[in-house]
Amino acid sequence: ITVLGEDLSLKEAIRFGIEKSDYVTAVSASLASQTGEMVGPNKEINVVYNFVDEEIYRKVDASHLREEFGISPEEKTIIHVSNFRPVKRIQDVVLAYKKIQEEIPSKLLLVGDGPEMPRIMDLVEKEGLKSKVLFLGNQDNLEELYSISDLLMLTSEKESFGLVLLEAMACGVPCIGTKVGGIPEVISDGDTGYLVELGNIEEIAEKAMKLLKDDKLHQSFAKMAEREAKEKFSADKIVGVYEDIYYQILEMEEKIC
């Protein structure tokens, strides 16, 4: 056990922890690079992506929720899931949705809770969207909500990976995300969703409407999203990578002993 002194800075503590580890992983190349630049450790940081549990996150029949939420058959459903912190820029989701709903009958599901909730609720009321935006709070069965959704939007200004993107994709939901952090490593731009510039409300709305207005395009993106989630980010694949890492460490220890 190593006890770090109080006079040790956070940067030094992170470097110390990394350099004293046998093997270091990060959930995205972006995070690995950012950590390397910030801390400058004398240790390689290896990328091992997050994974999705396909037994949980898969397309299910949750049509009863549409009726429960008052979503009519002709309406599209857009979803955002987060911890409602300022870094998630949920206001961008709401403002983009305002443009979308002017052309496409739809509902916006905001899932989660956090410090930004009061501000976002005020914004929704100010923009006259109260009857179209559903605040669902924290939910346990996210796969059901993804399964009734046509599109997920994640407009964060910082994101090490973006696990909600992967969860939605596994349920066959195309995604729109910002070109920041690890998001571009999850969304294949033009195949499983679209990448947009941070804070560009017009672009977010434009890309969303492009998908929501074209059923054939949407179906193609949905199938590709589900396939990529299972092939690139499956639990079996990623857990297998970690198992290999553990065996490598054990072999190294045996050689030292």
Q: Is there a contact between 23 and 251 (Cβ–Cβ < 8 Å)?
A: no
Angle at 212 between CA 112 and CA 146, to 5 degrees: 30
CB < 8 Å & 24+ apart, contacts of 240-244: 241/48, 242/48
**Residue 169 contacts by C-beta under 8 Å, 6 or more apart in sequence?**
52, 175, 186, 192, 193, 225, 226, 228, 229
Q: Is there a contact between 98 and 129 (Cβ–Cβ < 8 Å)?
A: yes
**Residue 63 contacts by C-beta under 8 Å, 6 or more apart in sequence?**
148
What is the gyration radius of the CA atoms in the chain, in angstroms?
A: 20
**pTM passes above 0.85:** yes
End-to-end C-alpha distance for the chain, whole angstroms: 20
Per-residue pLDDT tens digits of the chain, which is 257 residues long: 333 444 557 788 888 889 989 899 999 999 999 999 988 888 899 999 999 999 999 999 999 999 999 999 999 999 999 999 999 999 999 999 999 999 999 999 999 999 999 999 999 999 999 999 999 999 999 999 999 999 999 999 999 999 999 999 999 999 999 999 999 999 999 999 999 999 999 999 999 999 999 999 999 999 999 999 999 999 999 999 999 999 988 887 777 66
